[in-house]
Amino acid sequence: MKENRTILFVIPDGVGIRNYLYSSIITHIKSTAQIHFWTTLPETAVKEVEKLHSVDIGYTHFTLPKESLRTRLFREASTYARLLHNSKILKNNTIIENWNKVSSSLKLKVLYFISEVIGKQASKKYKNILRLEEKSKKYWDKNLVNYYKSQLKLLKPTTIFITHQRVAFLNAICIAAKELGIKVICTIYSWDNTPKASLAIKTDKYLVWSYYMKRELSALYPEIPEDSIVVTGTPQFEFYLESQRQISRADFAQKYQLNEHQKWICFSGDDEKTSPFDPKYLEDVAEAVNAIPEKDRPQIIFRRCPVDVTDRYNYVFQKYSNIITPISPVWNTDAKSWGAVYPKMEDINLLVNIAFHCEFVINVGSTMAHDFAVYNKPCFYINYNQNSTSIWSVEKIYNFQHFRSMGQLDAVGWFNSKAEIKEKILLAISNPEKIAKDKQAWMRLIVNHPLDDNAKLITKELLDD
């Protein structure tokens, strides 16, 4: 059976490697099918996956194809139209914030201007949005599509799995596969992706984290048949259930020069665009912690966003070197292209142990709230502004559509001002059950449970004929 079945993973960048290549999906597949990667990742990343799962993987390196000007124009116009449409359907103006038209190129500035004009008009009728999307696919280079058809004929995959839905440049592969009758499946990569008009490719099936996401995707894309949206969950949380990844508190303390007899709390940073004031928030937290009597004072483990390689936190580290221990993510970030930036396997174990050994996590609206919820540990979301004149604000962040899933749940703790940080930290350390009582209920709404079923459910879809 294995000789007659090949699963082709299309991996356009490093964001999917942790969730889909390091998880148990490959292990579940390897005895039943051949595995091949088309990816922008370097061969070293593929070798790491092979070693982890004890499997031979076919590997083809590719660069993302370029769109024609007309394809780009119609795609951007349809994206803008969808954002306007989604903001009306969901009654949430923050959805428009996902329109990213920043460009220093005059040519692109003109393209975005025209896209907005066309998109605004198209947003008035849903069928016009669908027409724009079809037009964007119509003008793909036929020679490129034929090239992918020839490669697919050689490989003969039974299923193509695309590790996230956001890369429009993969449409040429999707078009080629459709013409050959090859099934294509993609995953909606993150819990916040559905309203962002980021469904850039058209496939046969879409895998989502939860029924909540399925309802939202169905409402925003009524043309997708209901049975084409499949709830499989996401495998990224399964690592926390694997006790062999955990090391003792003493060993973790020794490795990272921590005091094992103190409590540890985690501050997880966002990228600079998402949360530009993170260094000041970290400073506020450190100041509050420093005011706690030494016998009760916790240490702060700082986990930066892996793609944030700036030095913007350095002044805080220096000022509070006695209580902040930065532990850098274990990622390959030396590459010149985004496609070659990816987490190494050691980073999975690092995250597991940070969540396992810390009392709670602090951040601005991060998914880390769910990572800690696996261990029934709370998250504090920072909920006050640093600069009243800034165009960035926490109000805008927490009005993003995916946070509406909290509803009336007591899902996270809130730092509503700098003044209350100290007392809430002390409360969370002494009585953690009083903070975010519904954190696991929120996670069950967002992610399919049981968590260790998700990789198996995804595998079933990939192997289903």
User: In 10 A of CB 273, how many CB atoms?
Assistant: 10
Q: In the predicted model, is pLDDT for residue 295 greater than 70?
A: yes
Given this model, what pLDDT does residue 318 score? 98
Per the structure, the count of domains in the chain is: 3
Q: What does the pLDDT average to over 277-295?
A: 97
Could you tell me if 144 and 132 lie in one domain?
no
Residue 245 CA to residue 372 CA, distance in Å, equals 15
Q: Is 303 helix (H, G, I), strand (E, B) or coil?
A: strand
In the listed set 109, 136, 163, which residue is the last one of a domain according to the structure? 136
- Same domain (yes/no): 280, 392: yes
List the beta bridge partners of residue 268. 303
pLDDT at 453 over 90: yes
Summarize pLDDT for 24-42 with one digit per residue, the tens: 999 999 999 999 999 999 8
Between the alpha carbon of residue 231 and those of residues 19, 187, 214, 228, 326, the distances in Å are 16, 10, 7, 10, 37
Residues 212 and 258 in one domain: no
Residue 137 and residue 202 in contact, taking contact as beta carbons nearer than 8 Å:
yes
- Model pTM score: 0.95
What percent of the chain shows pLDDT beyond 90?
Answer: 88
> Is the model's pLDDT at 1 over the cut of 60?
no
301 plus 442 within the same structural domain: yes
Residue 440 sits in the same domain as residue 366: yes
User: For residue 335, what pLDDT is reported?
Assistant: 58
Question: Could you give the CA distance from residue 432 to residue 63 in angstroms, rounded to a whole number?
Answer: 48
Residue 215 contacts residue 208 (beta carbons within 8 Å): no
Query: SS3 for 393?
Result: coil
Q: For the chain, give the number of residues.
A: 465
In a shared domain, residues 93 and 125: yes
pLDDT of residue 3: 60
Determine the structural domain holding residue 75 and report its residue range: 69-136
CA distance 438 to 441: 5
pLDDT, average across residues 381-407: 93
Within this chain, do residues 315 and 267 fall inside the same structural domain, yes or no?
Answer: yes
Same domain, 33 and 156: yes
Q: Taking CA 211 as the corner, what is the angle to CA 119 and CA 345, rounded to the nearest 5 degrees?
A: 90
Per DSSP, the three-state class of 104 is coil
213 and 269 share one domain: no
Q: 41-61: per-residue pLDDT in tens?
A: 989 999 999 999 999 999 999
Do residue 301 and residue 436 come from a single domain?
A: yes
Instruction: Examine the domain organization and report whether 31 and 171 are in the same domain.
Output: yes
First to last CA, the chain: 12
Q: Average per-residue pLDDT in the chain?
A: 95
Residues 29 and 80 in one domain: no
Q: Which residues contact 280 (CB under 8 A, 6 or more apart)?
A: 386
Which CATH number goes with the domain that contains 29?
A: 3.40.50.2000
